[in-house]
Each structure stands twice: as C-alpha cells, then as structure tokens.
Amino acid sequence: MTEVVDRSAAKGHAPVTAPSLVPGSAQPAVDVHALGEQLLGKWAAVRLQARDLAARPELHKTEGLTHTDHRARVSGQLQYLVDNGAVHRAFPSALGGSDDHGGNIAGFEELVVADPSLQIKAGVQWGLFGSAVMHLGTGEHHAKWLPGIMSLEIPGCFAMTETGHGSDVASIATTATYDPATAEFVVHTPFRAAWKDYIGNAAIDGLGAVVFAQLITRGVNHGVHAFYVDLRDPETRDFLPGIGGEDDGIKGGLNGIDNGRLHFTHVRIPRTNLLNRYGDVAADGTYSSPIASPGRRFFTMLGTLVQGRVSLDGAAVAASKVALKAAIHYATERRQFNASSHTDEEVLLDYQRHQRRLFTRLATTYAAGFAHEQLLQKFDDVFSGAHDTDEDRQDLETLAAALKPLSTWHALDTLQECREACGGAGFLIENRFASLRADLDVYATFEGDNTVLLQLVAKRLLADYAREFRSVDFGVLARYVVGQATGAAIHRTGLRQVAQFVADNGSVQKAAIALRDEESQRALLTDRVQTMVAEAGAALKGSNRLSHEKGAALFNRHQNELIDAAQAHAELLQWEAFTDALRDVTDPGTRAVLTWLRDLFGLSLIETNLSWYLMNGRLSMQRGRTVGEYINRLLVKIRPHALDLVDAFGYGEDHVRAAIATGAEKTRQDEARAHFRSQRASGQSPVDEKVLIARTAAGRTK
C-alpha cells in the first residue's frame, strides 16, 4: 500500500496514512458520491436544478438544423427557461429574483451541456443586457425595464463591441452627444468601423439595447457610458427611424444566436435613458460622477460586467468534463491491436500514450474546476456586498482575466484531443466533440480576447511588484537587488544543479520523491512566476519617464514575456486551488487518488516548461529527466480510477449524449470476442497464413 504524505496535517487536517482500498486489491478507492458532492461546490442545489433542466430534450441542441431554424428553436427555449424559473436568480428580490449572484452563475453555466447557443443567448438577454440595466442603471431604470427584460417581453442586445474596436472598449467611436435644448442624447455612428458588431439578438429578436458610447456634453468627452435605446417597433419588428443593421449570417458555431450589426444615424433618446449609476448629466448639460477619475470610472463600470468572464470560465470547465467523460468511457471499451495477447485486443486506455492524452487533460480539468469555484465565491462576495471594496473588485477582475483564458483554451484543446482519441467515431456529430468545439471556439475571443486578458493580468502583476518597493528605503532595496543577483549567480553557475544532483545521488527514485513533494512543486511553479515578473519589471524600470512613444515601444519589446508570466501566474492559481481542495477531502482513498492527479497537473506544467527550468538553473538534468518518468508512473496509478474520476463529475447520459459513451461499444466488442472464442473452440477457425508459414519453417528446420 502506498503511503500518501499529507503536509496539511500541521494546519489542522488529518494526515492520510491509510487510504481506503478497492475490495480485494491494494488500490485506494475513490468515494465517487462524496467527490461528486465536493465538485458541485457551494451552490450544489442550484447546479442540480440546472442539470435537471439541461437533461430535458426540450433544451437539447438539434443537430443539422439550418441556422434559421436553430435560431427559432433557441428563441423558444428562452421562454422555457423563464417558465421554469431558471434565469432570474441574480435579479432583485423585489422584482421576483433572489439576489443570488453566485448561484445565478453556477446554474447558468450548466446550460452549456444542453446547447451552447442556448447558454450564450440566455447570457446575452439576462447576463449582459439585463445585468447592464441592473448594475449601471438606478431605481427608475430598474422599475421601467427590468420586469420586461426578466419576462422576455423585452428581448435585448448588449451593444458594446464595434467592427473597429473589440477588446479596446475605451476607443469605441459611437457617440452620445447631449442636446440641452431638447434634453436628449443624440446617438450616432460616424463611420462604418463604428457600427456595433457581432451583437447577440441584433439580427432578429432585439427590441431594445444597452448601447455603449462616448458621452459628450458641453464639448467635453467624458468617456464610455451606457445608454438604453429602443431598436424596433414591438408590433412590426421593424427598426425605428435612424436605426439600421445587418445579419452577421452563418458563423463557425453558436448558430442558434442571431448575431448582427447595428448603426445609428442621429438617433435621439431621452436624457433619462443614460444609465447613470456612475455618471449623470443634468438638464442643463452639467456632468457629474461619484468617481472623479475618468480611468477609474471606466474600469468600475466595466467591472460590474465581469460575470460574463466568470460564467465562460465555468461553462468551459463543464464542456471539458462532458468531453472527458465520453472519451474515457469509450477508451475503456474500445479495443485495438493485440499487443500483449494472441487472442484479445487491448483497450485503448491501457496504452500509455492514450493515458497521457486524456489523464493530463483530466488533471487540468479538475484544477480548472476547483479554481473556478474560488472565482465564483469571489464573484459572489463582491456582488452580494459581503466583500466589496475597490481592492476586492480589482482582485475579482484580475482573477477572472487570469482564469477565463486558461479554461477556454483548455476546453478547445480537450475537445480536439478527445475527438482524435476516439478516432473516426469522434468526428461524428452524434458524439458531440466536433459540434461542441465549434460552438466553444468563440469563447477564446469574446467577453475579452484571451491574449488581451492575460496582458491585463500582467500589468496587475507588474503594479503589485512595483508597489512592494514604492516605500522601501535604499538599504532594503539594495539588499533585494543583491539577493536577486546572488540567486541568479547560484542558478546560472550550476551550483543549484550540483546541489540537486548530490542530494539525489544519481537516484531516479530520490529525484522523483523530491518532485512529487507538494512544497517542491509549489516552489518551482512560484519561482517561475516571480522570476518572470521580476525580470520584466527590471526591463521596464523607468519606462514611465520615457516619452509616450518610447514607453510603448519598450513595453511592446517585452509583451511576449509579460503574457507568458501572466499565464504562469494563472496556472499557479489553478495548482493552488487544486491543493486547497485536497485539504477538504475527508476520505483517505479519494485524497490519495486526487493527490496523484494534482501531482500529474503540477508536473505536466513543469514538463511543458522544462526548458525554462533547465536554462534558468532551477532543475538539474537529473531531475529534468525524472519529470517525464514520474508522470508515466502517475498514469499507471490513476488508470484504475479513471472511470470514477469522470463519473464524479455527475453528468448522466442525457447530459453527455454521445453514442460512444452509452456502452454500445462494449456490447460490440463482447460480441466480437465471443464470436472468435466460439470459432476457436469449435476447431473450425481458419489458420492464419502467418501461423502456417511459421509451422512450415519449423518443419523444414527439423
């Protein structure tokens, strides 16, 4: 029996020394039920309610529909959500909601397993359009528009992105100029690149929109603000005067959503249509705001809309879980090549490479899931008001910007790898990998382009790094610089490698023990982040004293390293979340298996970046060679528990809906094996030509 050393015992948690075992074996057992409850998280009841809805055929994607028919189906499904109380949790209790912000996201993200188009269209209506009215508007706006938005009487759009500006919201070109003579704003798109583009509900369904535009009054541009604009006549569904648009047409995925373009030609709206929580204009044109700084005001307004990134993070994790459940179930049944037997073929999941392909992604999915639960808690703390300081909001914004890129990229990678791991069967639409991947493709670029979001994280890391030294005296700073230089000298002269080699004494086993140690993994992952940020900070030192042009050029020269540092930081956050979750596992067997899975995640990150660790002297060649070897040992340990680990996700056949994950493959394989066994037993089995040749050759030898 393998002993699992638990270094959290000192923190008040019971050490794991005797894992529960699979009956009749020396293997630790996974308590699937308990693990499943842990994975459901704080909002378990809401998730289960949402999964019950997502399992219903009324909400499932019907493959093969034209985009026109798919749009009509999804529009009808939105009313089904309203009728079943699935979308109002975050709205005020006074209007029929429940003021449950975390629960709202937890339930919403589960809709992705029914149809990603349904999830995103619901997100447009209530998570963006409705949320913008709620968070950027005031009581008058809530009373006027939220009841209709909640009931779906007012389908609407979130009109922020423009053809010419996506992630750079501050530079959008649509204007809203105040006319004091009529007490109206004049909304205008001055050129083609200023058209609102890729807007959900814009092509067909949207009757209203929250339009983001540059607020201009008394000749001063006060930056981007949000305005409520009526788009269409409710009876005829025709655009109102001055408003026009186009259909974006067929997309690479999410074709159940009527994305389109909008433009405005001197459209007049009442002054009170300004959603004025953070900025207001009086009847005489005087501008006022509770936030004096234009920059801080802008980021505060956008920060209220962070839930889109939070929900995409969770939806991406859910899609990864569904894909892995299907692929791993199939891999335990599908047989290919008789490598170790003359009669029986091997199941795919017994091949090391297949384990590498799926188990490493399974480990990352667990890490991303645990990190998402922490993000969801942070989101709920802020929006419930439990912890809602400026610092809390900045932390939430940074955390969402760090995790959303990793989970959405991971989902796309996992769906593709699962597709390939299932061969031709994986390419069939009935098994959903290709369809889900197409629908989730845009997750990497909407609600914030992933690369741009990581740059935001990098800037926050640099700011935190600089803040540490803003008030220190020369002596402290000098000691820090000396320490950095000494550390670099130790790493780069090979002294650390020598120390590691001596400690390991050439032993692969000792090197493996060192790498599987929790603190060793934490040190390696943390050191990489800190070093990368420190090097970037040193390279950019003094950039604020350069001209605007030279400062931008200097930053651009180090942009790639900064984004790499941000990604390393996000990966560390996921590893820490996984490690934190281990401390909540009470069953010893489950904790043993999850510890292996956490180690697989951590060591896979180190293996991926092994060149950095070797070049920077953080690992000796001895330990570097050991990383891959120990990963392969972990694969063998995890193999008996693979089905338990995906079953703990809690998704049934009505959620997965993949023909290859129904047991049909096992039935086919068992039938084939029975056929050949019967044939051999009857003595009527034909002789294989290769066997005949071997027999003939043996006879000649005699």
Question: Which two three-digit tokens encode residue 526?
Answer: 């943390």
Residue 210 belongs to domain spanning: 59-303
Are 539 and 616 members of one domain? yes
Q: CA 340 → CA 275, 344, 350, 517, 671, distances in Å?
A: 69, 8, 11, 34, 20
Are 316 and 352 members of one domain? yes
How many helices (H) and strands (E) are present in the chain, helices listed first?
27, 11
pLDDT band at 658 (very low <50, low <70, confident <90, very high): very high
Choose one of 303, 338, 357: the last residue of a domain: 303
Judge whether 200 and 258 are in contact, CB under 8 Å: yes
Answer yes or no: is 299 within a domain: yes
Are 562 and 606 members of one domain? yes
Q: What's the pLDDT score for residue 11?
A: 35
Are 540 and 472 members of one domain? yes
Q: Strand runs (DSSP E) across 259-411, as ranges?
A: 260-264, 267-270, 280-281, 287-288
Q: What is the pLDDT of residues 488-539, one digit of tens each?
A: 444 544 445 545 544 555 555 666 677 778 998 998 999 999 899 988 988 8
Answer yes or no: is 33 within a domain: no
pLDDT band at 701 (very low <50, low <70, confident <90, very high): low
Residue 347 pLDDT > 50, yes or no?
yes
Choose one of 303, 332, 363: the last residue of a domain: 303
Helices (H), 505-558: 508-516, 518-539, 548-557
Are 255 and 363 members of one domain? no
Q: Strand runs (DSSP E) across 39-192, as ranges?
A: 156-159, 175-179, 184-188
Answer yes or no: is 664 within a domain: no
Q: Which of 296-300, 308-312, 527-531, 674-678 has the lowest mean pLDDT?
A: 674-678
Of the chain, the percentage scoring pLDDT greater than 90 comes to 71
Are 315 and 292 members of one domain? no
Answer yes or no: is 50 within a domain: no
Q: What's the pLDDT score for residue 145?
A: 98
In this structure, how many other beta carbons lie within 10 angstroms of the beta carbon of residue 406? 23
Of the chain, the percentage scoring pLDDT greater than 70 comes to 89
Are 293 and 346 members of one domain? no
For 477, the enclosing helix (H) or strand (E) is: helix 474-492
CATH number for 247:
2.40.110.10
CB neighbour burial string for 81-120, b if at least 16 within 10 angstroms, e if fewer = bbeeebbbbbbeeeeebeebbbbbbbbbbbbbbbbbbbbb
Are 314 and 231 members of one domain? no
Residue 650 pLDDT > 90, yes or no?
yes
Answer yes or no: is 587 within a domain: yes
CATH number for 389:
1.20.140.10
Q: CA 556 → CA 538, 540, 543, 570, distances in Å?
A: 15, 10, 11, 21
Q: What is the pLDDT of residues 190-231, one digit of tens each?
A: 999 999 999 999 999 999 999 999 999 999 999 999 999 999
Residue 260 pLDDT > 60, yes or no?
yes
For 246, the enclosing helix (H) or strand (E) is: strand 243-247
Q: Backbone dihedral region of 285: left (phi > 0), alpha (psi from -120 to 50 degrees) or beta?
A: left
Question: Which two three-digit tokens encode residue 616?
Answer: 């920077």
Judge whether 664 and 46 are in contact, CB under 8 Å: no
The residue count for the chain: 702
Answer yes or no: is 419 within a domain: yes
Are 344 and 390 members of one domain? yes
Answer yes or no: is 559 within a domain: yes
Are 495 and 385 members of one domain? yes
Separation CA 118–CA 155 (nearest Å):
14
Q: Give the mean model confidence (pLDDT) for residues 150-160.
A: 97
Residue 640 pLDDT > 60, yes or no?
yes
Are 369 and 508 members of one domain? yes
Answer yes or no: is 216 within a domain: yes
- Domain count along the chain: 3
pLDDT band at 14 (very low <50, low <70, confident <90, very high): very low
Choose one of 647, 665, 681: the last residue of a domain: 647
Q: What's the pLDDT score for residue 232?
A: 98
Let me know if 264 is exposed, middle or buried by CB neighbors in 10 A (0-12, 13-18, 19+): buried
Separation CA 62–CA 51 (nearest Å):
18
Separation CA 661–CA 381 (nearest Å):
38
Separation CA 404–CA 454 (nearest Å):
9
Separation CA 247–CA 558 (nearest Å):
40
Please give the mean pLDDT across all residues of the chain: 88
Separation CA 237–CA 231 (nearest Å):
9
Q: What is the pLDDT of residues 604-621, one digit of tens each?
A: 999 999 999 999 888 888
Are 299 and 326 members of one domain? no
Catalytic residues: 447
Of 415 and 352, the one with more pLDDT: 415
